Amino acid sequence: MLNPDLATINLTPDDYERYSRHLILPEVGVDGQKKLKAASVLCVGTGGLGSPLALYLAAAGIGRIGLVDFDVVDRSNLQRQIIHGEEWVGKPKVQSAAHRIKSINPYIQVDIHEVPFTSENALEIGKDYDLIIDGTDNFPTRYLVNDACVLLGKPNVYGSIFRFEGQATVFHYEDGPCYRCLYPEPPPPGLVPSCAEGGVLGILPGMIGVIQATEAVKIILGVGTTLKGRLMLYDSLKMQFRELKLRRNPECPVCGDHPTVTKLIDYQEFCGIPQAEAEEKAMAIPEITVKELAAKLDQPGVVLIDVRNPNEFEIGRIPGSVLIPLSEIEDGQGVAKVKELADGKELYVHCKMGGRSAKALQVLAEKGVHGTNVKGGINAWSEEVDSSVPKY
Amino acid sequence: MKGIQSTIEKRLITGKPVGIRVIEGTSFMVKVIIPAPLRRYAQEQESLDLEGHTVQEVLANLIGTYGDLKKHLYTEEGKLRNFVNVYVNDEDIRHLQQEKTPITEGATVSIVPSIAGG
């Protein structure tokens, strides 16, 4: 709990030794370390942000750490998700993270929530923690974490990343603004690429996650000036920090003076991802498996377009494929190229995992060019057809 | 005429496209910061110098330079999108005079869209 009765908390001899460098700091001291010991923090997500922040919170002696994640460790996570190791590939992230935390600090409690964080369980899971840290990787879960924090009256320690840049702040702390005060609405699906599509500098979430951990510790200790009301922007290429002012919006639908959101909603729908519509759109585009494609490529009259970025094309390619990036198709100039290549031929389109190629085919279909999507993209090709093409 | 001249001179010197809309009265050159997710619609420019004496005019000049940015900044009804925040220096224009917020000499206009990676 925050502001616990310090007389009821004892530090053990091991604690005195382990936290010696904290105890020496007048701003922490024995009382501060007791506050950390009495505190509980929920980390939603154990990925790029969740990894470094959970490591530091564990080392700092936060008494109870909750971990929420339903994902398993993928080899492509290891470039940045430093709480996980090679031997955990294919195994649940929460188990991996809990194991690592226990090796750093066996004297703290780790609660494992191996479930997706949803409108159905968010309040139930969140209510048992003093503060919640948003280490998620998508808009629906970010709005869910925010609304759950407001409804539960808990601070939301926020961080997010994109390629070389990050943002961090503390939402809904004391009288400060919430995520919806900053961004009342999410962008439409597909506008902002995910890390899997857009890439991310592996070190970047370390910087932002450590800012989140720092803010969490400051809130628990009650020292310093938090990021409440300030949005920290970080640019790793320029190595530059900037800050912008945030204000609470009295009209905010969740934390405003007259809230209209008084319980958790359907965040997929709020973020414009109606399941049926998305499936229907995807359904309209025919698909082929990589094995079927391999057989097709031996035949004449077939053209395969790769819509990834040139640097991804450099990593590996399916023999015979022609590179026309999605961005070129979206801005129109690529459409003419595809039209010319596909004239009188069977058109197949692929990307890394199948998402961007489906999008390209939707754009092409609107221009009267029809083709088939390669399910699972080049990663499926690597797994099922030719492992000499690297999966990434 | 002075505005046109300086714009053309600037273009000749820097080789970069700059806003060419002529504005009556006093206008200033301001630095506009383009965020990473939108740079692909702005020829990968990180920032550019534009003229204007309100946010609206600066953004109009921005779109005049990079037309592809328009649909990412504005709705079809011409309203600034809710997930794109615009700051003059460190203040959100929603807490100033929205797009009518006046620009002062040397100001920085930042476009800060929401990102979600983690």
Model confidence at A137: pLDDT above 50: yes
Q: Give the number of beta-carbon pairs within 8 Å between A and B.
A: 92
Residue A281 confidence (pLDDT): 58
Confidence of residue A50 (pLDDT cuts 50, 70, 90): very high
DSSP 8-state symbol, B102: B
CA-angle at A191, arms to A308 and A338, nearest 5°: 40
**Tell me, what amino acid is at A247?**
R
Mean pLDDT of the A131-146 span: 97
Q: Is B68 on the interface with A (CB under 8 A)?
A: yes
User: Strands A346-350 and A302-306, how do they pair?
Assistant: parallel
**Interface test mutation site (partner B, options A68, A81, A183, A238, max chain B beta carbons within 10 A):** A183
Convert the pLDDT of each residue in A239-249 to its tens digit. Answer: 999 999 999 99
Contacts of residue A140 in chain B, CB cutoff 8 Å? none
Mean of the per-residue pLDDT values of chain A:
94
Confidence of residue B13 (pLDDT cuts 50, 70, 90): very low
Model confidence at A372: pLDDT above 60: yes
Locate A387 and state its tokens: 């492992």
d(CA A224, CA A218): 6
Contacts of residue A242 in chain B, CB cutoff 8 Å? 90, 110
Convert the pLDDT of each residue in A12-21 to its tens digit. Answer: 999 999 999 9
Model confidence at B81: pLDDT above 60: yes
Confidence of residue B75 (pLDDT cuts 50, 70, 90): confident
Indicate if A149 belongs to the active site: no
Q: How far is CA A228 from the centre of its chain?
A: 22
- Residue among A43, A181, A252, A351 flagged as catalytic: A351
Mean pLDDT of the B77-98 span: 93
Residue A243 confidence (pLDDT): 97
Q: Is B115 on the interface with A (CB under 8 A)?
A: yes
Model confidence at B2: pLDDT above 80: no
Residue A278 confidence (pLDDT): 53
Q: Beta partners for A245?
A: A230
Contacts of residue A184 in chain B, CB cutoff 8 Å? 82-83
Among A45, A159, A245, the residue with its CB nearest the CB of B92 is A245
Confidence of residue B47 (pLDDT cuts 50, 70, 90): very high
More confident residue, B5 or B103: B103
pTM of the entire structure? 0.81
A287: exposed, middle or buried (Cβ count in 10 Å: 0-12, 13-18, 19+): middle
Q: State the number of CA atoms in the 13 A half-sphere of A129 facing the CB.
A: 31
Convert the pLDDT of each residue in B14-23 to its tens digit. Answer: 444 444 444 4
> Inter-chain contact A183–B114, Cβ cutoff 8 Å?
yes
A301, A346 contact by CB (below 8 A): yes
- A349/chain B closest Cα distance in angstroms: 22
Q: State the number of CA atoms in the 13 A half-sphere of A141 facing the CB.
A: 24
Of B101, B32, B103, the residue nearest B69 (C-alpha)? B32
> Inter-chain contact A247–B95, Cβ cutoff 8 Å?
yes
Mean pLDDT of the B74-97 span: 92
Instruction: Give the sheet arrangement for strand B108-113, strand by strand.
Output: B47-52, B28-33, B108-113, B84-88, B91-92
Torsion, Cα of A105, A108, A111, A112 (10° steps): 10
Q: Is B16 on the interface with A (CB under 8 A)?
A: no
> Inter-chain contact A198–B117, Cβ cutoff 8 Å?
yes
Confidence of residue B26 (pLDDT cuts 50, 70, 90): low
d(CA A344, CA A37): 70
Mean pLDDT of the A238-261 span: 96
Model confidence at B4: pLDDT above 60: no
Nearest-Cα residue of chain A relative to residue B72: A191
> Inter-chain contact B118–A162, Cβ cutoff 8 Å?
no
Mean of the per-residue pLDDT values of chain B:
81
In chain B, which ranges are E strands? 28-33, 47-52, 84-88, 91-92, 108-113
Model confidence at A23: pLDDT above 90: yes
**Interface test mutation site (partner A, options B83, B94, B96, max chain A beta carbons within 10 A):** B83
Mean pLDDT of the A115-144 span: 97
Cβ contacts of A167 within 8 Å, gap of 6 or more? A158, A159, A160, A161, A208, A231, A232, A233, A234, B112, B115
Contacts of residue A135 in chain B, CB cutoff 8 Å? 118
A106: exposed, middle or buried (Cβ count in 10 Å: 0-12, 13-18, 19+): exposed
| Least trusted range by pLDDT, from A44-53, A223-232, A277-286, B39-48 | A277-286
> Inter-chain contact A194–B117, Cβ cutoff 8 Å?
yes
Mean pLDDT of the B62-67 span: 94
> Inter-chain contact A244–B92, Cβ cutoff 8 Å?
yes
Contacts of residue A245 in chain B, CB cutoff 8 Å? 90-92, 95
Confidence of residue A277 (pLDDT cuts 50, 70, 90): low
Nearest-Cα residue of chain B relative to residue A209: B118
Nearest-Cα residue of chain B relative to residue A142: B116
> Inter-chain contact B116–A192, Cβ cutoff 8 Å?
yes
Locate B90 and state its tokens: 């460190």
Contacts of residue A183 in chain B, CB cutoff 8 Å? 82-83, 85, 114
More confident residue, A266 or A193: A266
Indicate if A255 belongs to the active site: no
CA-angle at A218, arms to A34 and A5, nearest 5°: 30
Confidence of residue A25 (pLDDT cuts 50, 70, 90): very high
> Inter-chain contact B118–A50, Cβ cutoff 8 Å?
yes
Convert the pLDDT of each residue in A191-226 to its tens digit. Answer: 777 777 778 999 999 999 999 999 999 999 999 999
Q: Tell me what percent of the residues of chain A surpass a pLDDT of 90.
A: 85
Question: Assign residue A297 a region: left if phi > 0, alpha if psi is -120 to 50, beta otherwise?
Answer: alpha
Model confidence at A115: pLDDT above 90: yes
- Residue among A195, A252, A255, A271 flagged as catalytic: A195
Q: Tell me what percent of the residues of chain A surpass a pLDDT of 70.
A: 97
Q: Is A136 on the interface with B (CB under 8 A)?
A: yes
> Inter-chain contact A162–B115, Cβ cutoff 8 Å?
yes
Confidence of residue A330 (pLDDT cuts 50, 70, 90): confident
Q: Is A15 on the interface with B (CB under 8 A)?
A: no
Q: Is A270 on the interface with B (CB under 8 A)?
A: no
Model confidence at A282: pLDDT above 90: no
Residues 30..59 of B with a Cβ closer than 8 Å to A: which? Answer: 35-37, 40
Mean pLDDT of the A366-391 span: 93
Residue A192 confidence (pLDDT): 73
Mean pLDDT of the A368-386 span: 94
Residue A72 confidence (pLDDT): 97
CB atoms within 10 A of CB A319: 9
Among A161, A165, A187, the residue with its CB nearest the CB of B83 is A187
> Inter-chain contact B68–A162, Cβ cutoff 8 Å?
no
More confident residue, A218 or B27: A218
Residue A283 confidence (pLDDT): 62
Convert the pLDDT of each residue in A73-100 to its tens digit. Answer: 999 999 999 999 999 999 999 999 999 9
